Amino acid sequence: MRKIKKIFMRGPVYAIELFYLILFYAVGFFAKFLPGYRNVWIVSERGSDARDNGYWFYKYIRENHPEINAYYIIDKNSADFNKVAELGGAVDYRSFKHRLLFAVAEYKISSHVFGYSPDILCCKLFQKMGLIRGRLVFLQHGIIISDMKWMFYPEVRLDLFVCGAKPEYEAVKARFGFPQNVVKYLGLCRYDSLADAKNKIRRGRILLMPSWRVYICEVGARGGFTKSEYYRRFQSLINNPRLLDFLEENDCELVFYPHFEVQRFLDKFVSKSARVTIASFKDYDVQELLMSSEMLITDYSSVFFDFAYMGKPLVYYQFDEAEFRENHYSRGYFDYRRDGFGPVFAGEDDVVDYVIKKSGDKFAADSEYSGRADRFFELRDNNNCKRNFEAVISI
């Protein structure tokens, strides 16, 4: 009933996007006679950024395969637009050219499902109806650890579903229902850039990067964000007296970088200490923060995989596990206590204790957790983009 209501409420949007799709298919029939619209690949993340697997895949194409007629879809007002423009082929999101390229593209590639489309929800519906042409490639945003039913086949139809770790590949292949040879273990494109991470570490930098909650963002949109436990917990942590004293006494800094979906509430967070930076999406790059930090505090965010891949220590702060599982993502193959790359705590003081402990260990990862990471990532080289590219052209 909820799904039907949502489709009904978005009815006018679906109608407009369907009109555009048919219109640009017609225009595209003639555009394909022009060189710029032949054998087109479009690459994107979610139309607003270029910091993830989509960007690194596109960068690899532009630098290694200039024969590919590739374009990157990104809002011209994005903080990342210029770095894409330097590579060439940047196209403004939802522009005339974007819609035309979307209609003619033989390969549609993104790190978020259907992120290359002018409207993701419409694209999801239209592809189920068989209206989206071309080969659809999902590079992934992060390693999947939960059962996301909306990602199961045939809710989502893809030609290539990239996985970044062997256990993830086995779980997606077994549980998500995609046809044979769609799901492949190739490694995440952005991992190629992690090879020189040791050269970018800023001593004493600790990264606090929690995930989002769909139910928190819905409440927040109605003005109730500061009443949520999520807000209270992280506002308290960035003002924890022992943590602030530790930062000051050890010349350390804490960078608090909430998830993209929580960034709209960034101004609600305030810290008493100059040692705490509340980082905005506009001013800070996620991957640069991950590479430069010595330790990570997170809850459920899949960025912890990147951190473990680099062999650095982390801790999970999971104060709302039952609610998270009930209202956000259900439990999947990955158990944080059994499979995780750091300890799991529900209490703030325990998290602070562990941070102080790891500082005393010079931020070295415990052997138990580094061993788990070694087993989790069978592929650990600088050929992820290459494997992804070869898999795309072999579809």
Predicted confidence (pLDDT) at residue 6 exceeds the cutoff of 70 = no
Looking at the fold, whether 336 and 387 belong to one and the same domain comes out as no
Of residues 148 and 289, which shows the higher confidence score? 289
Q: Tell me the C-alpha distance between 336 and 342, whole Å.
A: 8
Of residues 4 and 129, which shows the higher confidence score? 129
Residue 223 confidence class, pLDDT cut points 50, 70, 90:
confident
Q: Tell me the C-alpha distance between 279 and 43, whole Å.
A: 27
Q: What is the mean pLDDT of the chain?
A: 93
Closest CA to 101 of 158, 16, 21, 160: 21
* Mean pLDDT of the 272-278 span: 96
Looking at the fold, whether 181 and 85 belong to one and the same domain comes out as yes
Looking at the fold, whether 89 and 235 belong to one and the same domain comes out as no
Looking at the fold, whether 41 and 103 belong to one and the same domain comes out as yes
Percentage of the chain lying above the pLDDT 70 cut: 97
What is the extent of the structural domain holding 211?
195-376
Of residues 109 and 380, which shows the higher confidence score? 109
Residue 221 confidence class, pLDDT cut points 50, 70, 90:
low
Predicted confidence (pLDDT) at residue 181 exceeds the cutoff of 90 = yes
H helical segments located in the chain: 2-9, 11-31, 53-64, 81-87, 96-104, 120-128, 166-175, 214-221, 229-237, 241-249, 286-292, 303-309, 321-327, 336-339, 348-360, 367-376, 384-393
Q: How many CA atoms lie within 13 A of 370 on its CB side?
A: 9
Q: Tell me the C-alpha distance between 94 and 277, whole Å.
A: 34
Of residues 216 and 95, which shows the higher confidence score? 95
Q: Tell me the C-alpha distance between 82 and 283, whole Å.
A: 14
Looking at the fold, whether 238 and 144 belong to one and the same domain comes out as no
Cβ partners under 8 Å of residue 162, min gap 6:
53, 137, 138, 139, 140, 184, 186, 188, 388, 391
Looking at the fold, whether 269 and 349 belong to one and the same domain comes out as yes
DSSP 394: T
* Structure tokens, 71: 């374009």
Looking at the fold, whether 219 and 145 belong to one and the same domain comes out as no
Instruction: Answer yes or no: pTM beyond 0.85.
Output: yes
Are 336 and 304 in contact by the 8 Å Cβ rule? The answer is no
The DSSP annotation for 185-223 comes to E---GGGGGGGGGGGG--TTEEEE-----HHHHHHHHTT
pLDDT digits (tens, 9 = 90+) for 159-176: 999 999 999 999 999 999
* DSSP-assigned beta bridge partners for residue 124: none
* DSSP-assigned beta bridge partners for residue 296: 207, 314
Give the CA diameter of the chain: 67
Residue 4 confidence class, pLDDT cut points 50, 70, 90:
low
Instruction: Name the domain count of the chain.
Output: 2
CATH code at 179? 3.40.50.11820
Looking at the fold, whether 33 and 154 belong to one and the same domain comes out as yes
pLDDT digits (tens, 9 = 90+) for 35-89: 999 999 999 999 999 999 999 999 999 999 999 999 999 999 999 999 999 999 9
Looking at the fold, whether 349 and 229 belong to one and the same domain comes out as yes
Q: Tell me the C-alpha distance between 215 and 358, whole Å.
A: 33
Q: How many secondary structure helices (H) and strands (E) does the chain include?
A: 17, 15
* Structure tokens, 147: 């059962």
Closest CA to 257 of 300, 290, 228, 233: 290
Cβ partners under 8 Å of residue 21, min gap 6:
103, 126, 131
Position 16, amino acid:
I
* Structure tokens, 108: 């549609």
What phi and psi, each to the nearest 5 degrees, are found at residue 192?
Answer: -60, -30
Looking at the fold, whether 209 and 129 belong to one and the same domain comes out as no
CATH code at 362? 3.40.50.12580
Q: Tell me the C-alpha distance between 35 and 29, whole Å.
A: 13
Looking at the fold, whether 284 and 141 belong to one and the same domain comes out as no
Predicted confidence (pLDDT) at residue 108 exceeds the cutoff of 70 = yes
Looking at the fold, whether 218 and 303 belong to one and the same domain comes out as yes
Residue recorded with tokens 């996301």 = 148
Cβ partners under 8 Å of residue 251, min gap 6:
204
Q: Tell me the C-alpha distance between 375 and 395, whole Å.
A: 29
